[in-house]
Amino acid sequence: MQALIKQGTPKLMAFDLDGTLVDSVPDLANAVNATLADLKLQPHDQNQVRGWIGNGAQVLIKRALSGDLKGDVPTELFEKVYPSFLTYYAEHLCIDSTLYSGVKETLQALQQSGITLACITNKPSQFTAPLLEKLGLASFFDYVASGDTFIEKKPHPMPLLSVAEHFDIQPGESLMVGDSINDIQAAKSAGFKSVCVDYGYAGEHDIYTMCADAVISQFSQLNGFLQKAA
């Protein structure tokens, strides 16, 4: 992390949502299992659901139905079940979801320093905005890009490049903070620097082989960029 900090403070910092800013597994798992219960299928524990998060809600429910990462299920079954999942999750979006330690204080400090902040997530927009509001994070972000904001989503670089272009900031002056291979691959493809948190939803991937520019265990370690700026 210190080597990355020495390269200078980024003008744009983009953050993933689930697994980076907020632990949303409890509410997602409850919505998944309520959906499965309607079909009289066995529920999954939170650790299983945790490993399936990161590619958006559609992929999550396909994985839950199949019970594996492939998520290979008949189209008819998915189309029948998916609306129920959306309803369950919308009704219980932020019951047990919690911010990770230091998130709000660090975002506030970064914002006050003048760094442009963005949230770039694969979560559908119908959930992203309400969740940010409920958690008290919405006011920190100058731009929020959800999984359906652009025609592509992470790991495609389009969301990152589009946000950087919106602010007329060069990719080389930008940083992506996330917890999964999708975040790191998107950053690499877009020309962003990248930081991976080690407490999120990396799934079957080893965070130390993702080739992120830095790995951190505490969100507050990002305050190191403020020290460099000072």
Catalytic residues: 16
Determine the Cα–Cα distance for residues 87 and 107; give it in Å rounded to an integer. Answer: 31
Q: Quick check: bond before 155 cis, omega within 30?
A: yes
Task: List the beta bridge partners of residue 178.
Answer: 196
Give 9's DSSP letter. Answer: -
Count other Cβ atoms within 10 Å, centred on residue 119: 25
Of 7, 13, 58, the C-alpha closest to 32 is: 58
Handedness of CA 199, 204, 208, 212 (dihedral sign): negative
